[in-house]
Structure 1
Amino acid sequence: MTLVKSAALAALLGLTATASLAQEVTLRFQHFVSPNSANPKYFIEPWAEKVEEESNGRIKVEIYPFMQLGGKAPSQYDLIRDGAIDGGWVIPGYQPGRFPEAEALELPFMVPKSGEQASRAAWMFTQDHLMDDFEDVHLIAAHMHGPGLVHKKGASIKDISDFAGLKLRGPSRPATLLLNKLGAVPIGMAVPAFPEALSKGVVDGGVITWEMAPSLKLDELTDSHTDVAGDMSLYNLYFIWAMNKDTYEGLPDDLRAIIDANSGLETSAWAGRAHDTGDQDGIAVMRDAGNEIAEISPEVTEEIKALGAEVTEEWIAEMTAKGLDAQTLVDDARAAVAEARNAQSSGG
Structure 2
Amino acid sequence: MLPRLTALILASALAGVLPLAGPVAAQDADPEVTLRFQHFVSPLSANPSHFMEPWAQAIEDQSGGRIAVEIYPFMQLGGAAPSQYDLIRDGAIDGGWVIPGYQPGRFPEAEALELPFMVTKSGEEASRAAWRFTQEYLMDDFADVHLIAAHMHGRGLMHVNGPAIEDIADLDGLRLRGPSRPATLLLERLGATPVGMPVPAFPEALARGVVDGGVITWEMSPSLRLDELVQSHTDVAGDRSLYNLYFIWAMNRDVYEGLPEDLRAVIDANSGMMASAWAGRAHDIGDAEGRAAMEAAGNEIATLSEDVTAQDPRPRRRGDAGLDRRGHGTGPRGAALVDSVRRYVAEETGTGTVPLAE
TM-score by length of 2: 0.88
Q: How does 1:293-332 map to 2 (within 5 A)?
A: 293-303=301-311, 306-319=314-327, 325-332=333-340
Structure 2 CA distance, aligned partners of 1:23 and 1:194? 38
Q: How does 1:228-267 map to 2 (within 5 A)?
A: 228-267=236-275
1:309 to partner: Cα distance: 3.0
Structure 2 CA distance, aligned partners of 1:305 and 1:40? 38
* Equivalent residues of 2:168, 2:314 under 8 A apart: no
Aligned partner of residue 310 in structure 2, secondary structure:
helix
- Code of the residue aligned with 2:111 in structure 1: it is E
Structure 2 CA distance, aligned partners of 1:292 and 1:322? 39
- Which of 96, 113, 120 is the equivalent residue of 1:105? 113
1:172 to partner: Cα distance: 0.5
- Which of 150, 153, 156 is the equivalent residue of 2:161? 153
For residue 53 of structure 1, what is the aligned residue in structure 2?
A: 61
* Cα deviation code 1:118-160 (max 9, x no counterpart): 0000000000000000000000000000000000111000000
Structure 2 CA distance, aligned partners of 1:268 and 1:177? 27
- Code of the residue aligned with 1:140 in structure 2: it is I
For residue 5 of structure 2, what is the aligned residue in structure 1?
A: none
* Cα deviation code 1:140-188 (max 9, x no counterpart): 0000000000001110000000000000000000001110010000000
Change (3 A) 1:162 1:306: closer
* Equivalent residues of 1:182, 1:304 under 8 A apart: no
* Equivalent residues of 2:168, 2:315 under 8 A apart: no
Change (3 A) 1:305 1:341: farther
1:314 to partner: Cα distance: 4.4
Moved over 6 A (4+): 320-324
Aligned partner of residue 103 in structure 1, secondary structure:
helix
Structure 1 CA distance, aligned partners of 2:68 and 2:147? 19
Unaligned runs of 5+ in 2: 1-25, 353-358
Structure 2 CA distance, aligned partners of 1:159 and 1:321? 27
1:343 to partner: Cα distance: 9.0
For residue 220 of structure 1, what is the aligned residue in structure 2?
A: 228
* Cα deviation code 1:23-62 (max 9, x no counterpart): 6100000000000000000000000001100000000000
Change (3 A) 1:165 1:313: closer
* Equivalent residues of 1:150, 1:206 under 8 A apart: yes
- Answering whether residue 71 of structure 2 is matched by residue 67 of structure 1, we say no
Aligned partner of residue 303 in structure 1, secondary structure:
coil
1:303 to partner: Cα distance: 1.3
Q: Identity percentage over the alignment?
A: 70
Q: How does 1:260-279 map to 2 (within 5 A)?
A: 260-279=268-287
1:320 to partner: Cα distance: 6.9
* Equivalent residues of 2:186, 2:323 under 8 A apart: no
Change (3 A) 1:329 1:305: farther
* Equivalent residues of 2:146, 2:256 under 8 A apart: yes
- Code of the residue aligned with 1:65 in structure 2: it is P
1:342 to partner: Cα distance: 1.9
How big is the alpha-carbon RMSD for the aligned residues of Structure 1 and Structure 2? 2.0
- Which of 142, 148, 172 is the equivalent residue of 1:140? 148
Structure 2 CA distance, aligned partners of 1:302 and 1:341? 21
* Equivalent residues of 1:141, 1:268 under 8 A apart: yes
Aligned partner of residue 149 in structure 2, secondary structure:
strand
Higher Cα Rg, which structure: 1
Equivalent pairs counted in the alignment come to 326
Change (3 A) 1:182 1:304: farther
Structure 1 CA distance, aligned partners of 2:261 and 2:74? 32
- Answering whether residue 203 of structure 2 is matched by residue 183 of structure 1, we say no
Change (3 A) 1:23 1:165: closer
- Code of the residue aligned with 1:181 in structure 2: it is R
- Which of 308, 333, 347 is the equivalent residue of 1:339? 347
